[in-house]
């Protein structure tokens, strides 16, 4: 885009500011010219999330501004830059359709005997138009989510963006999604929210009983979004698995470099930072599942996107470290997920105090590993005998006292 003096990034649905923080940190540390011209706007519907986002982004105060409103109702004037979202349109309210006795039906809610009930009835015109326009197949026994707001949202973005890209990460497919998503909407969210709502994932009525207290989601059909964007002059550079977009931009090499760097680490902090940077990697790369991404561009040549030849060898080869147990050397996999669980306790245990390794049996689970500097030892105390002999054979004194 010829290095504009001001580059706008608009993120809709800021969550706990993980994406924005990572974006700003990366720009600041690795692309200083880009960072200088960067203006970041977060569009957030949840009033109480904005102060949390502001706190998380306090180091980037001068770079970020907020708009409190709904992504599919906000208007921005005209934009040059990037509109980005991660897990946004799946949170929009959807209509739900199915076929009953060869007729398309839409789900409505009503009140009977003072209770919410759901009823299937004739679809409204906008829903039928969507189904017809985008050739959505509605089948007996399958509930298809119809995300009219996502369409509205993409239309408004398509009109607002003069030049640049729309990058969307969310759960879905480039097709009807009902087959993968029974029922059409599901509940997720923090377990305490669910507990408060006393809701199980399949208890769809929880949302009626505890409005605002359950996290409702529906898979996205990215195909209508691509069609509408194309009508508005966008090219689709990519619509597919997140896994593939990551491979296209060289994640395999990045990963190899990171894992290689493990052997040069000298502190637990570096190990936990590596673990953090790999979080979610396994799910996205191996399961692939519904992790989808879409990148639409307008008025910029597709050649500005520099794809690399994807490296097919992207399996995460975790570092192995040698460990001695009762005189036998074993290769032990460093399990990043388990390190995560220990993270809160690392300060208590390291460095060694007076030659005694302080371990807290009730807090530690996991396998045997050495620290990268080869001196410290972290152990699975669900197997105290092995722990004791491994500690002693490493020349440390075993103590089960905190």
**Torsion angle, alpha carbons of 274, 280, 281, 283, to 10:** 150
Instruction: Mark the segment that binds ligand SAM (CB under 6 A) among 26-34, 38-46, 160-168, 174-182.
Output: 38-46
Judged by beta carbon, residue 47 or residue 101, the one nearer ligand SAM is 47
Tell me the DSSP string of 256-284.
HHHHHHGGG--SHHHHHHHHHHHTTHHII
Tokens of 360: 């807290």
- Residue closer to ligand SAM by CB (options 44, 176) is 44
Of 232, 243, 235, 230, the closest CA to residue 169 belongs to: 243
Minimum Å gap between C-beta 176 and ligand SAM is: 23
Rounded CA separation 123/195 (Å): 34
Closest C-alpha to 289, from 171, 185, 201:
171
Taking contact as CB under 6 A, which single stretch among the options 10-18, 307-315, 353-361, 374-382 is the one that binds ligand SAM? 10-18
CA 172 from centroid of its chain's CA atoms: 13
CB of 19 or CB of 246, closer to ligand SAM: 19
* DSSP characters over 59-72: GGTTTEEEEES-TT
Residue tagged 């809160």 (tokens):
344
Among 9, 49, 94, 252, binds ligand SAM (CB under 6 A): 49
> Binding string, 12-31, against ligand SAM, x = CB under 6 A?
xxxx--xx------------
d(CA 88, CA 288): 19
The only residue of 50, 52, 91, 249 in contact with ligand SAM, by rule CB under 6 A: 91
SS3 368: coil
Residues between 69 and 88 with contacts to ligand SAM, criterion CB under 6 A? 70-72, 86-88
Binding pattern to ligand SAM, positions 163-202, x when CB under 6 A?
A: ----------------------------------------
Q: Rule CB under 6 A: say whether 220 interacts with ligand SAM.
A: no
Sign of CA dihedral 208, 212, 216, 222: positive
Of the candidate spans 39-47, 186-194, 350-358, 368-376, the one that interacts with ligand SAM by CB under 6 A turns out to be 39-47
Q: Which lies closer to ligand SAM via its Cβ, residue 12 or residue 221? A: 12
Residues in contact with ligand SAM, shown as a per-residue x/- string from 51 to 70 under the rule CB under 6 A: -------------------x
Residue 7's nearest CA partner among 21, 31, 25 is: 31
Q: How far is the CB of 245 from ligand SAM (least distance, A)?
A: 15
Closest approach, Cβ 42 to ligand SAM, in A, equals 9
218 scored as a contact of ligand SAM (CB under 6 A): no
Shortest reach from residue 70's CB to ligand SAM, in Å: 4
- Nearest CA to 122 out of 94, 98, 150 is that of 98
Strands 369-370 and 377-378: antiparallel
Q: Does residue 46 touch ligand SAM according to CB under 6 A?
A: yes
Distance CA 323, CA 374 (A): 9
Nearer to ligand SAM, 93 or 351 (CB): 93
Please say whether the beta carbons of 123 and 260 come within 8 A.
no
Nearer to ligand SAM, 70 or 389 (CB): 70
Binding residues for ligand SAM, rule CB under 6 A, total: 19
CB of 51 to ligand SAM, least distance (A): 12
Considering the rule CB under 6 A, would residue 43 count as an interface residue with ligand SAM? Answer: yes
Query: Considering the rule CB under 6 A, would residue 226 count as an interface residue with ligand SAM?
Result: no
Nearer to ligand SAM, 41 or 371 (CB): 41
Minimum CB separation from ligand SAM for residue 102, in Å?
35
- Near ligand SAM by CB under 6 A: residue from 27, 38, 45, 220: 45
Query: What 3-state DSSP class applies to 314?
Result: coil
Residue 137 has, within 13 A of its CA and on its CB side, a CA count of 7
Nearer to ligand SAM, 139 or 215 (CB): 215
Pairing of strands 79-86, 64-68: unpaired
CA distances 307 to 26, 270, 317, Å, are: 19, 30, 24
Which residues of the chain form contacts with ligand SAM (CB under 6 A)? 12-15, 18-19, 43-46, 49, 70-72, 86-88, 91-92
């Amino acid at each position: 885009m010829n290095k504009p003096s001001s580059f706008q990034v608009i993120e809709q649905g800021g969550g706990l500011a993980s994406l924005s923080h990572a974006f700003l940190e990366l720009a600041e540390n690795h692309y200083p010219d880009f960072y200088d011209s960067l203006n970041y706007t977060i569009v957030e519907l949840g009033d109480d999330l904005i102060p949390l986002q502001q706190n998380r982004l306090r180091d980037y105060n001068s770079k970020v501004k907020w708009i409190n409103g709904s992504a599919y109702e906000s208007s921005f004037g005209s934009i040059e830059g990037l509109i980005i979202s991660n897990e946004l349109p799946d949170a929009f309210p959807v209509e739900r359709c199915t076929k009953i006795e060869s007729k398309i039906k839409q789900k409505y809610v009503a009140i009977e005997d003072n209770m919410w009930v759901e009823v299937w009835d004739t679809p409204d015109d906008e829903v039928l138009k969507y189904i017809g326009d985008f050739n959505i197949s509605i089948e007996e026994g399958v509930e298809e989510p119809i995300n009219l707001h996502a369409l509205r949202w993409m239309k408004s973005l398509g009109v607002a963006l003069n030049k640049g890209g729309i990058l969307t990460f969310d759960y879905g497919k480039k097709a009807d999604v009902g087959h993968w998503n029974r029922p059409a909407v599901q509940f997720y969210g923090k377990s305490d929210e669910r507990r408060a709502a006393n809701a199980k994932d399949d208890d769809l009525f929880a949302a009626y009983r505890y409005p605002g207290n359950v996290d409702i989601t529906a898979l996205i059909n990215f195909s209508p979004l691509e069609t509408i964007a194309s009508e508005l002059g966008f090219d689709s550079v990519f619509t597919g698995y997140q896994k593939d977009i990551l491979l296209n931009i060289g994640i395999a090499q990045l990963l190899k470099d990171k894992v290689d760097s493990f052997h040069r680490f000298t502190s637990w902090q570096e190990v936990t930072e590596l673990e953090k940077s790999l979080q979610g990697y396994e799910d996205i790369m191996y399961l692939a599942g519904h992790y989808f991404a879409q990148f639409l561009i307008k008025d910029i040549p597709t050649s500005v996107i520099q794809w690399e030849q994807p490296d097919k060898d992207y399996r995460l080869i975790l570092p192995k470290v040698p460990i001695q147990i009762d005189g036998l050397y074993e290769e032990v996999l460093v399990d990043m997920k388990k390190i995560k669980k220990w993270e809160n306790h690392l300060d208590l245990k390291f460095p060694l105090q007076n030659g005694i390794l302080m371990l807290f049996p009730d807090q530690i689970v996991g396998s045997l590993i050495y620290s990268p500097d080869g001196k410290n030892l972290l152990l699975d105390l669900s197997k105290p005998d092995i722990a004791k002999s491994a500690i002693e054979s490493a020349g440390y004194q075993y103590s089960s006292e905190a």
